[in-house]
Structure 1
Amino acid sequence: MKRRTFAQIAALALATGFAAVPASAQDTLKVGAVAPKTGPLAGGAAVSYWPNVKLWVETVNARGGLNVDGKQMMLEVIEYDDQTNPGETIKAVQRLVEQDQADIILPPYSTGLNLASAPIYHRYGIPMITSTATTDKADELSAQFPNVFISLGGAQPIALGAVEVLTELRDRGDIGNKVAIVNVADAFGIELANVAKPAFADAGFELVYESSYPLGSQDLSPVMKAVKSADPDAFVAFSYPPDTFALTEQAQIEDLQVGAFYTAVATAFPSYAGRFGESIEGVLGIGGVNADDEAFQTYAARHEEVTGAKPDYWASAMVYSTFEVLEQSIEAVGLDNAAIIEHIKANAFDTVIGTLDFDENNNNPSFWTVGQWQDGVFKGVASTGREGAVDVVVKGPWK
């Protein structure tokens, strides 16, 4: 008889109402991971996603593997490059289930690729604890796909966090009232910009420039030249890693002097500080961490030891935390996807970012929204319930 993976068995169990059983009596579990290694989002995945896959697998195996129904089982990774292409993500998940017979399949990287592949994860009944998706569609997703969990936050609180921080700076007299907003034209950037623009207007800001640009844009100098001409007091970009670097570089070339400079994904990357040095002091960005937290510091040291690179100060720890949630659930209920999903819904988990749990809509309610580079560290300055926020400071001139 052909062996089914636990994902296939759980999907059958969901459809028939029968309980799933462990995948096999093997000593090794196959872990499937699919994310960009090429394409526009490869750089971000190389920082926040792939190193944490390596770290998690090595950490679990170093202590003897996962305890599944009383048996220690080592992890073996099967990796696929989806080329930043949703169609390739879906095909890779299908291959992991049907050909590779993977026992565990991790969620992909980025908002767009997670949203695009949610139906295929649901088809196979695979628990999908997203760690790099930022969306306000959590309610809709949980209703349609009860196996999907959103851990990194929604577009609305993240965008509103940026508005609140800039409002604080303005009301303190540190910046003026004019703001320029740009965004990458994919699910992530569009959602955030659609929330932020009316929120800035409601807060009394004057929107002096707004624009979007295609994912993968190579030349963003026209965007920043137009921003400079608009003479804003604050600049906000809902950007992905290549554009975050390009926009910052162009801002320096144009000598854009604003009291608040905000870019999104990659602002928290160590390579951002490596690229721009002391000039990033006071730069704001999406996310953040409690950089002084002992658990994060221990995780960061282990990350560098195993992968040879520092984690970023936002999504990296969340990626690893979601793997910990999956790990703890498997050890609690075994390789039964339906039971894993229900266990995640019903429990809180101790992770490297602290307690992680999900509300009735499978949404993590407590996450960092805004961070800021201060003294060489990207520190959380605003959140929806995390401890350790520091006071925001005004950005000085480019050095």
Structure 2
Amino acid sequence: MKRRTLFAAATAVATLALTVPAFAQETLKIGAVGPKTGPLAGGAAVSFWPNVQLWAHDVNEAGGITVGGTSYMVEIIEYDDQTNPGETIKAVQRLATQDEADFILAPYSTGLNIAAAPIFQRYGYPMVTHTAISDQIEDLSNKFPNMYFLLGGATGLAGGVVDVLTDMREAGEIGNRVAMVNVADAFGIELASVGKPQLEEAGFEIVYETSYPLGTQDLSPVINGAKDSNPDAFVAWSYPPDTFGLTEQAQIAGLAPKAFYTAVATAFPAYAGRFGAAAEGVLGAGGVYADGDQFKEYAARHEAVTGAKPDFWASAPTYATFEILHQAIEGAGSTDKEAVAEYIANNSFETVIGPVDWDENNSNAKYWTVGQWQGGVFKGVASTGRDGAVAAMPKSGWE
């Protein structure tokens, strides 16, 4: 567990002093915990850490978070949890008790969020998750009332995949045979458990099914087994390292169904960068309204500040959760955690992904479920109510 502290750029502080001299400048200590090492470090390096940097930059450049007559600059205290739930728990505990962080950003990934939730609740921190997907939302929100979910539930995410495959089947583009695999982590296990019955209820036949440990290096047995089943569609409830590994092995083995789906990291710019034209037609988790002005403006600012492009799914929701915290502090007119948590519970928010409000289980009801690489852009093709979806198309091999 390594600690790193980032503060506002000196130029931003100087500008603030010149432009708003009436406001006193103080600091809000914001904790950020996520993988910098371990199997999920690559995903966090795309979706989480750059948005922490961008948000702190944007807040401080604009003069801080204003509460009454006081402008609070943002100081980020970072911890690497090494993709280890025990380290996530220790880091959050340390932020709360030793660093005395005013607020703590939700961790990265489903499993690490669930592990940390009791600590957030114990110390009264609002926890607006950005990279957690679960059908345990009702139970979790009952246990941890300050916990919120922006990416929705596992059933909705899996249901989007089933809907897209059903549409492709009805269009005569694929048949009924599906090979389904999953990473043996909280995300993959839950998606497989809810995805299988939905596929079967929709009339699909699961002709191959297996799981593999997080961090598996050799995925050739998984892909070879899938190829031997002669599927019409391949569905992998995968995390970043294996999303890339499964795609690479599919190319090597010649597994090329008309519907090829991998989950987390399919939306990463690096996916298209690595696979080039072969990425065209690949389906994946999430998506965005890629042609919308709101996303384009955010993406341009993200690249200008961090030097990297955002992904086409979780990056914008991650930033949106930080916007929600910012708006809640200002809206509550207080830096008191309880007051801010209450404000989050009772209000809607305007964010980079559009309006966000909560259902009775503290979950955002409108979220993207499936995207597809089309023309070099990962575009949303299915959602639970977002605007801007485009039609999915069959994949034509790995050319």
Q: TM-score, normalised by structure 2?
A: 0.93
Report the counterpart of residue 193 of structure 1 in structure 2: 192
CA distance in 1, matches of 2:336, 2:358: 20
- Could you tell me which residue of structure 2 aligns to residue 96 of structure 1? 95
SS in 2 for 1:136: coil
Q: Relative contact order (C-alpha < 8 Å, sep 6+): which is higher?
A: 1
Matched residue type, 1:38: T
State the one-letter code of the partner of 1:218.
Q
- The 5 Å alignment of 1:110-259 reads 110-259=109-258
Q: Bigger CA drift: 261-270 or 333-342?
A: 333-342
Superposition deviation, residue 383 in structure 1: 0.4
Q: Could you tell which deviates more after superposition, 68-77 or 316-325?
A: 68-77
Q: Are the equivalent residues in 1 in contact too, given 2:25–2:73 (CA < 8 A)?
A: no
CA deviation string 1:80-109 (max 9, x = no partner)? 000000110010011111111111211100
Contact 2:31–2:105 at 8 Å: present in 1 too? Answer: yes
CA distance in 2, matches of 1:138, 1:205: 27
Q: Which runs of 5+ in 1 are unaligned?
A: 1-24
Report the RMSD for the aligned CA atoms in angstroms: 0.9
The superposition leaves residues 106-130 of structure 1 with CA deviations (integer Å, 9 ceiling, x where unpaired) of: 1100000000110000000100000
1:324-381 alpha-carbon deviations (Å, 9 max, x no partner): 0000000111112122112112111110000011111101100000001000000000
For residues 379 and 82 of structure 1, the distance between their equivalents in structure 2, rounded to whole angstroms, comes to 32
SS at match of 1:107: coil
Instruction: Give the distance between the partners of 2:386 and 2:178, measured in 1 at CA.
Output: 28
Decide whether the 8 Å contact of 2:103 with 2:337 is kept in 1: no
Question: Do structure 1's residue 335 and structure 2's residue 341 form an aligned pair?
Answer: no
Equivalence map 1:16-165=2 (5 Å) = 27-165=26-164
CA-to-aligned-CA distance 1:122-157 (integer Å, 9 cap, x gap) = 000100000000001111011111000011110001
Aligned partners of 1:26 and 1:72: how far apart in 2? 5
Deviation at 1:69, TM superposition (A): 2.8
Aligned to 2:5: none
Query: 2:209 is paired with a residue of what secondary structure?
Result: strand
Alpha-carbon contact 2:102-2:337 (below 8 Å) kept: no
1:369 aligned partner: 369
Q: Aligned residues: percent identity?
A: 66
> In structure 1, how many angstroms separate the alpha carbons of the residues matched to 2:286 and 2:321?
16
Q: Aligned partner of 1:322: which letter?
A: T
Deviation at 1:38, TM superposition (A): 0.3
The residue type equivalent to 1:373 in the other structure is W
In structure 2, C-alpha distance between the alignment counterparts of 1:340 and 1:73, rounded to whole Å: 15
Partner of 1:20: none
- In structure 1, what is the equivalent of residue 14 of structure 2? none
- Answer whether contact 2:183 2:239 (CA < 8 A) is retained: yes
* Equivalent residue runs for 1:257-272 within 5 Å: 257-272=256-271
CA distance in 2, matches of 1:173, 1:315: 32
- Once the 2 structures are TM-superposed, how far is the Cα of residue 70 of structure 1 from its aligned partner? 2.3
Distance in 1 separating the partners of 2:129 and 2:352: 16
Give the CA deviation at 1:256.
1.0
* Distance in structure 2 (CA, Å) of the matches to 1:70 and 1:332: 14
Secondary structure at the aligned position of 1:74 is classed as strand
Aligned length: 375
CA-to-aligned-CA distance 1:240-274 (integer Å, 9 cap, x gap)? 00000000000000111201000000000000000
Q: Following TM superposition, by how much is the alpha carbon of 1:26 offset from its aligned partner in structure 2, in angstroms?
A: 7.0
Q: How many Å apart are 1:168 and its aligned residue?
A: 0.6
Measure, in 2, the Cα distance between the counterparts of 1:353 and 1:293: 10
- In the alignment, residue 346 of structure 1 is paired with which amino acid? N
Contact 2:132 2:149 in 1 (8 A): yes
- Residues of 2 paired with 1:328 and 1:75: CA distance? 14
2:279 equivalent to 1:274? no
Deviations 1:212-241 (A, max 9, x none): 001111110110011111110100000000
The residue type paired with residue 384 of structure 2 is T
Q: CA deviation at 1:74?
A: 0.7
Task: Give the Cα separation in 2 of the matches to 1:28 and 1:259.
Answer: 53
Deviations 1:294-352 (A, max 9, x none): 11110000000000000000000000000000000001111121221121121111100
Which moved further from structure 2: 330-339 or 242-251?
A: 330-339
Residue by residue over 1:179-214, the C-alpha shift from the partner in whole angstroms, topping out at 9 and shown as x without a partner, is: 000000111001110111111111111111000001
Q: Secondary structure at the match of 1:141?
A: helix
Gaps of 5+ in 2: 1-23
* Structure 1 residue ranges, 4+ long, deviating more than 2 angstroms after superposition: none
Supply the distance in 2 between the matched residues of 1:257 and 1:290 (Cα, whole angstroms). Answer: 27
SS at match of 1:27: strand
Which residue number in structure 1 is paired with residue 352 of structure 2?
Answer: 352
Secondary structure of the equivalent of 1:170?
helix
Q: Distance in 2 between matches of 1:194 and 1:104?
A: 34
Q: d(CA) in 2 for partners of 1:98 and 1:125?
A: 12
